[in-house]
Amino acid sequence: MNSLYETDHHKWLTEQVGLLANKQFDQLDLENLLEELELGIEAKVDNLENYLSTLITHLLKCDYQTTVLRDTIA
């Protein structure tokens, strides 16, 4: 039988938040909760890498436009 984590992720997450708020730690789905936290951390790192890559690309373009292209126009 599938767990609530696999069938209705939103309901499972809401249930876990309620258990944490009520300090019912013994009823937490620790295995899936830890997995969810790890996935969240990985997603945030991936997003940060994408933002940094975009920022570096824009900075390189800006540097190129303000140095190389400026010298060829003048």
Give the number of domains in the chain: 1
Is residue 29 within 8 A of residue 5, CB to CB? The reply is: yes
Domain with 12, as residue range(s), is 4-73
Mean pLDDT of 6-11: 93
Count the residues in the chain.
Answer: 74
pLDDT, position 2? 62
CA angle 57, 44, 53 (to 5 degrees): 5
Q: Kindly report the number of other CB atoms within 10 A of residue 35's CB atom.
A: 12
Q: Which two tokens stand for residue 74?
A: 């003048």
Summarised one tens digit per residue, pLDDT across range 25-70 is 999 999 999 999 999 999 999 999 999 999 999 999 999 988 887 7
C-alpha 28/C-alpha 33 separation (Å) is 8
The pTM assigned to this predicted structure is 0.63
pLDDT, position 1? 47
pLDDT, position 72? 73
